Amino acid sequence: MMRKRSIRAITIMGALCLLLHMGTAQDLHFSQFMNAPLMTNPANTGFIPEADYRIGVQYRSQWTSIPVPYRTSGLFADFQLLRNRFENGWLGAGVLVLNDRAGRGNLRSNKMYGSIAWHQMLGYSSLLSAGFNAGYVSKRIDLSKFTFDNQWNGKFFDGASFNGEQFLSNSALSYFDLQAGINYAYFPSENQYFNGGLSVHHINQPRETFFSGSDNVVPRRYTGFLNGSFKMNNDWILNPGGYFSLQAKAYEIVAGGSAAYNLTGDGSRVVLGGVYYRWGDAAIAMIGFEMQNVRFTFTYDATVSSLARFNNTNGAWEFSMIRNGFYNQYKGDRKQSMCPRF
């Protein structure tokens, strides 16, 4: 048993070291892409079909069966502004904060972005949005947590100081980051809603490396999403959706859907259930509950790839909470698109 655990730990450690060498590790991500709007696309800033402002938090714990799980948390808030100044449009502003801790090297990532977007009505049944965000990223690793080949004495790692790797002296880095995106929404009736968007992340391709003299940069990441909402009757609303991301040669595809059930008849309490699939990686089960404009959502990723033999299919669990709110002076005077509601 101890031998198997050691092999598993060394395998994960080796993978992380390889990512550090390459300097092109994938971005942070959540399975609940629909509940991370500013992270998915900056044009989502202030695009709130069901309210005037929203505040959300996410937490993800990944690979809990390995010695050191990967943990990611996020906080965002966005608001609609200047709605009383323009007849057919409004400004969205928001903030996004992300934190991540990964692997035995205690790789810590902290990201903070300011986001802005403009939303323009096109007639009475469609909306075009464009936005961008800019932020500061900092990362740090603990080199004392790693082992290197020259520390192997033939029987075990002896803890001797390593050499041959030219790390930055403080094992930390920081850089400026920039994203931009566009969205389009179409809502032909109060029972139908479609929304899709495209975005480009790391437009400025910032330099990111822990090695002295290296010019490795963060490659641009291209994302797209498409979702819909269909009110079947007074009890059921269906919400299909999909997400795509491409960065260097790494890609992610997530598709599926959820259903909302009107538990009380007046829409004050709603239960959610759904299933998504991340291509070649995991099946994702979703459950949720909404009460008084606060939605709680829980998902569990069951690994279905070859990695399942290392983590016993325990991919990740994820939690999100989103609070939607209204400005008193605007309540009842809606300008933005409307999703189907109970």
Q: Where are the alpha helices (DSSP H) in the chain?
A: 2-22, 37-40, 308-311
Helix, strand, coil content of the chain in percent (nearest 5):
10, 50, 35
pLDDT at position 9: 40
Averaged pLDDT score across all residues of the chain = 83
Give dist(CA 305, CA 318) in Å, integer. Answer: 19
pLDDT at position 216: 86
pLDDT at position 91: 97
pLDDT at position 247: 94
User: Could you tell me if 144 and 193 are in contact, meaning their C-beta atoms sit under 8 angstroms apart?
Assistant: no
Q: In this predicted structure, which of 144-158, 162-176, 180-194 has the lowest mean pLDDT? A: 144-158
Nearest to 309 by CA among 7, 25, 20, 19: 7
pLDDT in tens, 199-253: 999 999 999 887 777 788 999 999 999 999 999 999 999 999 999 999 998 999 9
pLDDT in tens, 72-90: 999 999 999 998 888 889 9
Give dist(CA 115, CA 79) in Å, integer. Answer: 10
pLDDT at position 181: 98
- Average pLDDT (162-189) is 82
Read off the DSSP letter of residue 6: H
Beta-carbon contacts of residue 321 (< 8 Å; ≥ 6 apart) = 56, 57, 294, 295, 296, 297
Domains in the chain: ranges and CATH: 2-325 (2.40.160.40)
Q: In this predicted structure, which of 87-91, 113-117, 151-155, 186-190 has the lowest mean pLDDT? A: 151-155
* Better-predicted residue by pLDDT, 271 or 161: 271
Q: How confident is the model at residue 99 (pLDDT cuts 50, 70, 90)?
A: very high
Give dist(CA 247, CA 26) in Å, integer. Answer: 7
Q: How confident is the model at residue 23 (pLDDT cuts 50, 70, 90)?
A: very low
